[in-house]
Amino acid sequence: MLLIYLNINEVYVIDFTWWNDDVAKAIEEKRRCYKIWHITKTASDRNKFKEARQNARRGVALAQEKTRQELVNELESTAGKKNVYRVAKQWQNPGRM
C-alpha cells in the first residue's frame, strides 16, 4: 500500500507494504492502553501503556526489516537485477511510480 500526498512543491510517497495483521493488533493494543491510562492516570496503567508501546515499536521494526530483506533478496536474484534501476529511480524521484 502506498500513500501519496502533495505539498506545494513536493510529492511525498510513503510505503506501507510492511503493514500486517500483527502490526495492526499491536498498534490497536497500544491505543487501547493509552486510552485507559489517559483516563485513570495510574502508574500501573502507564506501565502497561509503555510495554504496549514498546511491543508496537518492536513489531513495526520487525515488519519493516522483513520487508526490506524481501526487497534485497528480490533485487539479488537474477530477475531482480533488472529492477535495480527502477527502484533507484523511484528513490531518487519519489513522485515517479
Q: What pLDDT score does 14 carry? A: 66
* Residues spanned by the domain of 74: 19-92
Q: Would you say 18 and 9 are in contact if contact means Cβ atoms under 8 Å apart?
A: no
| Domain membership flag for residue 63 | yes
| Domain membership flag for residue 55 | yes
| Domain membership flag for residue 56 | yes
What percent of the chain is predicted at pLDDT more than 90?
49
Tell me which DSSP letter residue 94 carries. T
CB atoms within 10 A of CB 55: 16
| Domain membership flag for residue 11 | no
Q: Which helix (H) or strand (E) holds 14?
A: strand 11-15
pLDDT, tens digit (0-9, with 9 covering 90-100), for 1-49: 556 656 667 766 667 788 899 999 999 999 999 999 999 999 999 999 9
88 half-sphere exposure, CB direction, 13 A CA radius: 7
Q: Which of helix, strand or coil describes residue 36?
A: helix
Does the pLDDT value for residue 84 go beyond 80?
Answer: no
| Domain membership flag for residue 52 | yes
Mean pLDDT score, 51-70: 95
| Domain membership flag for residue 28 | yes
Mean pLDDT score, 65-85: 82
| Domain membership flag for residue 10 | no
Number of domains in the chain: 1
Does the pLDDT value for residue 57 go beyond 70?
Answer: yes
C-alpha cell at 40: 485513570
